[in-house]
Amino acid sequence: MVAEDENVSREMAQVVAKLQDAIGRENVKTSKMERLLYSHDLAPLPNLAQIAFKNIPDVVVRPHTTEDVVKIVKIAAEDKVPITPRGASTWGLGGSTPVFGGILIDMSGGMNKILEINRENLYVKAQAGCTWKEVYDACMEQGLLLGGYPSSFPSATLGGWISVNGVGVGSMKYGTSGDLVRNMEVVMPDGTVVQTGYDLIVDNETGYNLNRLIVGAEGTLAHICTVTFKLEPAPEVMRSLTYSFPTLKEAGKPLMEICRSRVRPLHIGFSDHNHFDLLRKAGRHTLPEGHNVLNIQLEGDKEIVAWEEKKIDEIMAKYGGKKLPDEVAAHEWEERCYEYRCREIGIGSIPGEAVMPLNTFEETVDTCYNLLKELKLTGAIIGSIVDRNTVMFMPYYLFNPDELQNLTSFGFNAKFANYALSIGGRPLGFGAFFASNLDAIRGTGAKYIRDIKRLIDPDDIMNPGKLTGTTLRYGIRIPPALFNLGMGAIGVIKRAFPTEDEVAERQEAYAQERANKARDGRHKGH
């Protein structure tokens, strides 16, 4: 039975009792404080967002096995209760945040085990709640390489990044997260367990590819329980390189030439001078003023890596890129997983992620700076190369989610998304906030995506309100045109506000606090 002090509605009390019987009382959480912890993802939601979304789950469950997930899904299907899957919530578009309350399945709490590393057949099988770092490190210990992972890999979970078909570190050489997947064990909306592929071989035979159906579906079609990834032999050498340019735009032409050569880096990332300025103000060791950098990671046989470095050096010298010392390059490579440490000053950050054709790099840099200026935001530009013709931009801005005017900051994401579409790119991800983009991105294909959703999940219990359209807490569907109009209006409103001094004020306060602590430490030492 549910405890009386645990604020569960009468409608949910029976569902909670069924869940407790099915997977154990210790794995079912209903306390208000517990549920509040799951009401947002990477980006803290403004309090006003609760008007639009019921973003606090009614109950949080922590399964440990696929069988536990089957029991949870069957209960949800029987009572038509929405399910929201959640890993570590390292994304910021509301994809792992409830829209209608219901059951939130916390995969990181119990389904976080590596099940098998197979050296002979080059695969690793793990539960979806494992972090990418856990799996990567375990494979490297066996002399095997997991080719790609998100930049948030110390905390990001397997299921979350697969659900958005993430691109990140290693994507340039080994593809997206979906390209790494051989097989998944998933639970369908009726509780059926399905193997989407094969552990030993690639799923390339004639027929619909179930891996590709589930990858990138943002949890709207099935619940991912275990994943099998293909592996590579670990490289003989890994080599970090960093090159600096006076402006970020000047990195565009050498990037293009590298991608049109036979050089094949594991990863190419970029960061502008504003990014390093913000890190410095947060008290983090970083480059001095004026650096806009390309960070390149090579891996493979010693002779090949040496040839690739020589070729890259020649290209960089041709365009005025300054090669920085090895210790700087090594530091930047280690920092690839901590891009948003500037948040340590106590301000939230939101990225505006989009992929663009590589030949628009310089134009996109200008557009990012113009949007930040137009909307009076404090922010920076980071990103990476996805493949030889695709670049991912992740411009981010700082904001205070408790202030009303900061709600208008989301206008940046809408404007940046529209820009991406206008030049042949697309925004990355839908979540709850940008589900209205489906029609703009897929055109007439959006109808068939919604048809698939209705066929597989007729009661709309699997992560509802995401990807296929914007839906508010009372089931109110917002037409895409109306939603986009509203997001555009938000941007207009944001321009009317004065420049936000709060970020600078908090940075100054943070710096003073650090100085005081350092002084107190010296005094104590005397």
pLDDT recorded at residue 46: 53
Residues in the chain predicted with pLDDT less than 50, given as ranges, are 4-5, 481-483, 485, 489-490, 492-494, 522-526
Strands (E), 221-281: 223-230, 232-233, 237-245, 267-271
Helix-strand-coil split of the chain, %, nearest 5? 40, 20, 40
pLDDT recorded at residue 467: 86
Assigned token pair, 99: 């829209």
Residue 511: which region, alpha, beta or left (left: phi > 0; alpha: psi -120 to 50)?
alpha
User: Beta strand 59-61 with 103-106: parallel, antiparallel or unpaired?
Assistant: parallel
Residue with tokens 């659900």: 163
Question: Among residues of the chain, what percentage have pLDDT more than 70?
Answer: 82
Assigned token pair, 159: 């299921």
Which residue blocks in 337-436 are alpha helix, DSSP H? 361-374, 411-422
DSSP string, 104-121: EEESTTT---EEEEETTT
Query: H or E stretch including 183?
Result: strand 181-187
pLDDT recorded at residue 395: 94
Q: What is the pTM of this model?
A: 0.85
- 1-234, CATH topology level: 3.30.465
443 — phi, psi (to 5°)? 60, -135
How high does pLDDT run on average in the chain? 86
Q: How many residues does the chain have?
A: 526
Assigned token pair, 516: 């005081």
**Do 1-234 and 239-422 share a fold?**
no
pLDDT recorded at residue 127: 98
CATH class for domain 239-422?
A: alpha beta
Comparing CA positions, the residue from 233, 239, 245 lying closest to residue 263 is 239
Assigned token pair, 400: 């205070």
Q: How far apart are CA 144 and CA 235, in angstroms?
A: 8
- Domain locations in the chain as residue ranges: 1-234, 239-422
Query: Which residue type sits at 197?
Result: G
Sign, CA dihedral 209-211-217-222, equals positive
